[in-house]
Copies of this chain bind each other. A is one copy, B any other.
């Protein structure tokens, strides 16, 4: 039982030694614990680092320790990943179940893509300005349901509810306009106190890492219920989070300047070192690549989202999740929702030879993403996968 192994990783792996994302995994018949990924292997950190902080069913106990601990652990994982490890500390990603990696505190969803907000505005308010007056002044956002954030691979049960009809009276039944929203999620590791806004330059002291998000949306339910208080049942039935959380430090090579912002944001939203992320997203629908949304075009930066979310004195907690909102580019091939790709259902998408608009039962959507890795090459964020089950 003292055999040792060295994990071999192909040079073009998206999970090389510059990435090392975290997960919560469950070896057959064992309790969940925290792991780090190298190639197609998971390193059991409770064993490899001999630390009970990782013998936990979520990353929260680790995340709450704060950025100095995150850096130290990342360095120790890097050393371990490069060493011979006890065989008992190494599992194949295919032999284990992956759990939701984070115990979610609050879930906030932003609306930070100019291309997405413009497209939605054109569809929903064709007679008016596509952007509402507040959009260029603040990152619009709202609270979603934390209790229905599920891990990648969880089936999505088609929601039922009151659906908008042309008559002005709703009908009731399973959503007929079930949609996706490809987003990037940011996970708060170290929280903040009531009355203490997080300034833009303190982002890395609080945010532990990123994960992909699919914010499933029932457009017919949402369209009927959404005034005046915003989305509720059209979103709350499920939000899928990737099983892998990429540490913020793994994305330093992906940092890029933000697109220009006009008008200039208020001082609390300015940041001398503001950055966006060059993350290329892919959306596959039943195995067909249907879109490649570019995160680099997002208008509001992750640091601006967090600064805005807390400027009113709101506290944050370990496990809080805030997502970017749908990532869309300017081109049809870069849209992050079926609502946009099918232009509200009016321009069907050719899916393996069939004309389609929204999701059917049995459909599977897989969202993946890649980014430049530190030291060259690329890294792959954990996928977000979900299949639609009937209502």
Contacts and interface: CB of A to CB of B under 8 A. Distances in A.
Contact of A170 (B134, B148, B232, B391): B134
Interface in A126-149: 132-134, 137-138, 140-148
A147 B236 contact: no
Contact of A311 (B161, B311, B320): B161
Nearest to A111: B229
Given A147-B320, A172-B266, A312-B161, A140 B233 contact: no
A86 to B, nearest CB: 37
A148 B194 contact: yes
A384 B142 CA distance: 26
Contact of A148 (B142, B226, B268, B314): B314
Contacts of A133: 168
Interface stretch (A41-49, A217-225, A353-361): A217-225
Given A106-B147, A146-B146, A162-B266, A312 B221 contact: yes
Nearest to A172: B266
Contacts of A144: 143
Is chain A's interface secondary structure helix, strand, loop, or mixed overall? Answer: loop
A230 B230 contact: yes
Interface in A289-318: 308-309, 311-317
Contacts of A157: 194-195, 313
A261 interface: no
Contacts of A137: 162, 169-170, 224
Interface in A235-258: 236-238
Contacts of A232: 108, 140-143
A233 B308 contact: yes
Contacts of A10: none
Interface string A277-296: 00000000000000000000
A261 to B, nearest CB: 15
Interface string A182-195: 00000000000011
Contacts of A230: 142, 226, 228-231
A313 B134 contact: no
Most buried by B among A111, A160, A312, A391: A312
Interface residues of A, number: 62
Contact of A225 (B134, B229, B233): B134
A105 interface: yes
A233 to B, nearest CB: 4
A227 interface: yes
A159 interface: yes
Contacts of A309: 233, 236
Contacts of A312: 159-161, 218, 221, 233-234, 236-237
10 contacts: A106-B147, A108-B232, A134-B227, A142-B230, A143-B143, A143-B232, A161-B312, A194-B238, A226-B228, A226-B230
Given A134-B224, A141-B232, A147-B316, 9 more contacts: A124-B228, A137-B162, A142-B143, A142-B232, A143-B236, A145-B314, A233-B311, A233-B314, A236-B314
